[in-house]
Amino acid sequence: MAASGHAGQSAMADDAVPHQRRVRYAGTHPRRFEEKYKERDPARHADELAKVMQRGQTPAGMHRPICVAEILAVLAPQPGEVGLDATLGFGGHAQELLARIQPGGRLFAVDVDPLELPRTEARLRALGFDGPTLTVRRMNFADMPALLPEAGGGFDFVLADLGVSSMQIDNPARGFTFKADGPLDLRLDPGSGEPASTLLLRLTRPQLRELLVDNADEPHAVALAAALQGQYIETTAQLAEQVRAALMPLFHRGLPLVERQAETKKTLQRTFQALRIAVNDEFGVLDRFLAALPGCLKPGGRVAMLSFHSGEDRRVKKALQSGERAGVFARVSPEAVRPSFDERRANPRSSSAKLRWAVKAGRAA
C-alpha cells in the first residue's frame, strides 16, 4: 500500500504546474513592459495598480479615462437611453455610461483594435453588463451609420475619445512609442493598411515634410524629411536615433543640455504622432465621423468629444460650430473644457485633452 501511495503522489507531482520564478528586474520598480506582470493582472494585484496610480502614472496595459465627471455632466445619460461609445478603448467611460442607463438602456461600443477589443469586452461582461445591455462591434467609428437600424434609428448620446490609448502606447510590440524598442508599426489595426516603416519608404520628401507639418505642426519638418525620407527604418529605436541625429546640427552652439533634451523629446513625440495619424488616416476618419454625426443623433441628442492635439480639436470645433450656424445643433460648447488641475496632477497623460460638446436641435421624444 505504501508503495502504491508513493506512486500516486509521484504521478500527482508530475501533473502539477511547474513552479515559475518571479520576473527579475533591476532597481526598485520594473521598467520594461514585459516585467510589469503585476500591473497587467489587475484582478490579482489591485494593490499594485493603486500604488502606480498614486505615483501619478498609468499602470501598464491599462488606460485611465479622462474628464469622466465632465463627460457625464454633458451627456447626462438616463435609464432606458441608447448610446454609443465610438472609441471603446479600455472601457473606462463605457463602464460609467452603462451604469447610468440602467434599467432598460443600451450601449453600443466600437473600436478598430483587434487586440484590445476582446479584452475590454471581457472586462465589461465580467462586471455584469451582458446581453443586449452592451453591444460590441469591431469597426471604425466613421461607419457608425451602419448601427442605426439596430439602435432604433438614432442615439441619445455619443462619446468619442480620440487618439490612442495607454495600452497601445505602453506595449512596445505595437510600435507607438520612442521610449522602448519595437517594430515601427503604429497601426491601430495591425491587419489593415501599411506600417510606418513602409510609409517612410513610399513618401517623397515634400510629402513627408507636409505630413509632419499638417499632422504635428513640426517646426523641424524640413530637416527631418531630408533625414527620414526613403530610409529603411524597421524599429522605433532606429527612428528615434535618426531624429536625434537630424536635430543635432540645428541646435545652437552652447545650448544647455536640458534644453536640447526637452526639444528633442518634443520632436520625437511630434514625429511619432504625425506618422501614426498618417498610417491610420485619423484625420480622414474623423472628418467622415463628423459628417455622419448629425444624422446619427436623435433630436435633443448629445455628443461629447475628447481630442488631444490641435489637428483633431480644429476639426471638431469647426464641425460643431458649423452645425450650430446651420441649425443642426441647438447648443455647442463655447470653449474647450480642460481636465481639472487635480486630474492633470494625478494623471499627467490627461494634460493635453480638450473636451467639446454639442446638443442636437429638436426636442427629445
Position 306 pLDDT exceeds 60: yes
- What radius of gyration, in Å, describes the C-alpha atoms of the chain? 24
Residue 283, phi then psi, degrees to nearest 5: -70, -40
Closest Cα to residue 39, out of 26, 28, 50? 50
Position 10 pLDDT exceeds 50: no
Position 12 pLDDT exceeds 50: no
Peptide bond into 18 cis (omega under 30): no
The b/e string for 300-329 (b: 16+ C-beta within 10 A; e otherwise) is: ebbbbbbbbbebbbebbbebbeebbeeebb
Give the percent of the chain with pLDDT over 90.
67
Judge whether 311 and 281 are in contact, CB under 8 Å: no
Q: What is the pLDDT of residue 166?
A: 72
Q: What is the pLDDT of residue 37?
A: 42
Where residue 351 falls (left for φ over 0; alpha for ψ -120 to 50; beta otherwise) is alpha
Q: What is the pLDDT of residue 355?
A: 97
**What is the per-residue pLDDT across 143-180, written as a single tens digit (0 to 9) for each?**
999 999 999 999 999 999 997 777 677 777 887 888 88
Judge whether 193 and 187 are in contact, CB under 8 Å: yes
Q: State mean pLDDT over 7-21.
A: 47
Where does residue 1 rank: exposed (0-12), middle (13-18), buried (19+ CB within 10 A)? exposed
Judge whether 320 and 293 are in contact, CB under 8 Å: no
**Assigned C-alpha cell, 311:** 489637428
Q: What is the pLDDT of residue 24?
A: 61
In sequence order, which ranges of 59-204 are alpha helices (DSSP H)? Answer: 68-75, 92-100, 116-126, 148-151, 166-170, 196-202
Mean pLDDT estimate for the chain: 86
**What is the per-residue pLDDT across 72-118, written as a single tens digit (0 to 9) for each?**
999 999 999 999 999 998 899 999 999 999 999 999 999 999 988 99
Cα distances from 88 to residues 120, 134, 160, 162, 352, in angstroms, run: 8, 12, 8, 10, 20
Residue 46, phi then psi, degrees to nearest 5: -60, -35
